[in-house]
Structure 1
Amino acid sequence: MAWTSLIIAGLFEVVGVTMINKLHKDRNWQALVLLVLGFGASFFFLSYAMETLPMGTAYAVWTGIGASGGAIAGMLFYNEPKEWKRMVCIAMVLGAAVGLKLFS
């Protein structure tokens, strides 16, 4: 259950990061509310996961999901570059997160 909670925390991190960009572009209250809710839920699920998982592993996986997901969201919703080099780097970050799970 801790790993599921950690993945959910990472997905909410992506929501929060995406809303930072949306708030910067649009300046509306809906983006602000979603930003606060996204990061709030992310920290809630991260803290739950850290009751079981080692701090270093949980934090690394959480930031990896957030960074990779943020890059992917930028490519999908904000027309950021979709170069193969970026895709390889995202795959390496996600591969490292999987490796941490395998060895934890």
Structure 2
Amino acid sequence: MGWLFLFIAGLSEVVGVTGMNLIVKNKNAMAVIVFITGFLTSFLLLSQAMLTLPMGTAYAVWTGIGTVGGALVGMFFYGESKDWRRIMFIAMVLTAAIGLKMIA
């Protein structure tokens, strides 16, 4: 269950970051709700995952999911750069997270 909690926590972090971006752009109540709900869910599930997974691994994978997810949301929904070098480094972060899962 720890890995499932961690995966959902990472996705929730992406929701929180998206909410943060919405606050900057729209400044409305719905954006604040998305921000708070995303990060609250993310931190709660991360803490649950850390009951069964090593702290360093859990934090690194959670951060990796959030980083990759935030970058992909930016690229696909907010018109951020899709330069091949950016995609290569995103793939490296994803590879590192998968590697941590394989050895933990």
Superposed pair shares fold, TM > 0.5? yes
Aligned residue runs from structure 1 range 12-51, under 5 A:
12-51=12-51
In structure 1, distance between residues paired with 2:90 and 2:42: 20
State whether structure 2 residue 10 is matched by structure 1 residue 10: yes
SS in 1 for 2:53: coil
Tell me by how many angstroms 1:49 deviates: 0.3
CA shift digits 1:1-36 (9 cap, x unpaired): 110110000000000001111110110100001100
Q: CA deviation at 1:77?
A: 1.0
Query: 2:76 matched to 1:76?
Result: yes
- Tell whether 2:96 aligns with 1:91: no
What RMSD over aligned residues (CA atoms) do the two structures have, in Å? 0.5
Q: TM-score, normalised by structure 2?
A: 0.98
SS in 1 for 2:7: helix
Moved over 6 A (4+): none
Give unmatched runs, 5+ long, in structure 1: none
2:60 pairs with 1:60: yes
- Which stretches in structure 2 are left out of the alignment for 5+ residues? none
User: Structure 1-normalised TM-score?
Assistant: 0.98
Distance in 2 of aligned mates of 1:75 and 1:22:
15
Q: How many aligned positions are there?
A: 104
2:75 & 2:22 partners in 1: Cα distance?
A: 14
1: CA distance between counterparts of 2:46 and 2:21? 22
Calculate percent identity across the aligned residue pairs.
59
Give secondary structure in 2 for the equivalent of 1:81: coil
Per the TM alignment, residue 84 of structure 1 is displaced from its structure 2 partner at its CA by 1.0
